[in-house]
Amino acid sequence: MIGATCLVASLFLIQSGMHIGVALMLLSFVGVWAMKGLTIAGKLLSSSVATSIASDAFAVIPLFVLMGLFVSATNMGRDTFDVAVLFMRRIRGGLGMATVAANAVFAACTGTTIASASVFTKVAVPEMIRHGHTPGFSVGVVAGSSILGMLIPPSILMIIFGVIANVSIADLFKSGILPGILMALAFCVTIFLMARFRPGFVAVDPKALSGDYKGPLDGASGWIIAGKFFPIVILVGTVLGGIYGGYFTPTEAGGAGALAAFLIALFRRELTLRIFWEVALETGRVTAAICFLLMAAALYAQMLTLSGLPYAVGQWLQNADLHVMVILFGYLAVVIVLGCFLDSVSIMLIVLPFVIPVFDAFGVNLIWLGLISVIAIEIGLLTPPLGLAVFVVKANLDDQRITTWQIFMGTMPMTLTMVVVLMICVLFPWLSLVLVGQRWTWW
């Protein structure tokens, strides 16, 4: 009863505006106090602070954050978009597809949806509107494709899941490669179908779909085009190639990626002392916030374990003789609904310590569970009333005539596409496990 009460209370406190880390620590401390007394609660609180992040494996967090901020502080996002436009402009709906492609490549360097949404709102939306695309479609494509930042490795959400579930972060990164590519391709197919069958939703002027767009690289030499795209290739190859090739651990890959991003920024002469100082400060702020959340999550998980709630629910589900997929679909439905009200990190920290022991008892592959959990949580970034990615796009828009509701309507086709890809990943676990070298199926 105490565990269930704390679980429900955490939703109310976070929704009321309390910081998630403070809410989880407060409720966990009070819950343990009610079960075991003040002395035990104090000892658990001190141990979670002292030991929960006392491992060099957590160095992966500031390193990937630092790499992403170096990339965001330069013009690599714009260069990636310009190159994608050059190769895809002749396709019907090519500007939208180029935005998706650029976001997919950019996601392999940032690890966060917010960075992708911020950069491409300023880069892609003005170009698409200027070329005759509707404002709703333009912002919808940017907001929708920005979720690739959490799906395509490196991903901050995958790191948090790996810490909570105690599974390999490198395997989680590998599991996101094929689903991430599938998601990007599905977005492109959706854009093509909309341009073909709903051109009024895509463009104000039908000529915008004719492929006459002239970009900044139009007529440029191959050397110039290669120079624009080569830096991002180096970063992606360093991180993903190093991890997948077995040369780097995730922590080492983060260090190599951060160093490569720093050197590229210096070589491009886009890194001033002021920018470097801002990047360093922001890295510290983000890292401190994530580490505080992980400490809170550790104490929260200990409280739930002491309460016996996950074990009791697991026993009840096993005695009810429900198929594991029925339980899984219920879990995914709850996560998507919570996404309408909470941010992605809050959902993960609240729900996972409760459900992981339940699914583990059923023998569910936790790498696969992490992958589909990230997709389901990311769907919530596009759904009202919270829709974090939507509000990030709105905050970075230069055109204030575009309303938040227009952005939500523009992202609707992308949201439906994400649901379809989520179902594919649920039905075919090998899609996320083949690169990991694991075999598991629920059939």
Among 268, 272, 270, which residue's Cα sits nearest to residue 227? 268
Distance between CA atoms of residues 135 and 114, nearest Å: 20
Judge contact between 349 and 296, C-beta under 8 A.
Answer: yes
Among 237, 436, 306, which residue's Cα sits nearest to residue 40? 306
Name the average pLDDT for the chain: 83
pLDDT, average across residues 157-172: 87
Question: What six digits make up the tokens of 212?
Answer: 């006459």
**Cα angle value 144/15/282 (rounded, 5°):** 60
**What are the tens digits of pLDDT across the range 75-95?**
787 788 778 877 777 778 788
Band (407; pLDDT cuts 50, 70, 90): confident
**What are the tens digits of pLDDT across the range 90-109?**
778 788 888 888 888 887 77
Band (208; pLDDT cuts 50, 70, 90): low
For residues 287-314, one letter each, b for 16 or more C-beta atoms within 10 angstroms of the residue's C-beta and e for the rest, the string is beebbbbbbbbbbbbbbbebbebbeebb
pLDDT, average across residues 175-196: 91
pTM for this one?
0.84
Say if residue 368's pLDDT is above 90.
yes
How many other CB atoms sit within 10 Å of the CB of residue 106? 30
**Cα angle value 156/12/167 (rounded, 5°):** 30
Among 329, 415, 314, which residue's Cα sits nearest to residue 373? 329
Question: What six digits make up the tokens of 390?
Answer: 């939507």
**What are the tens digits of pLDDT across the range 121-147?**
887 888 888 778 888 888 888 888 888
For residues 33-42, one letter each, b for 16 or more C-beta atoms within 10 angstroms of the residue's C-beta and e for the rest, the string is bbeeeeeebe
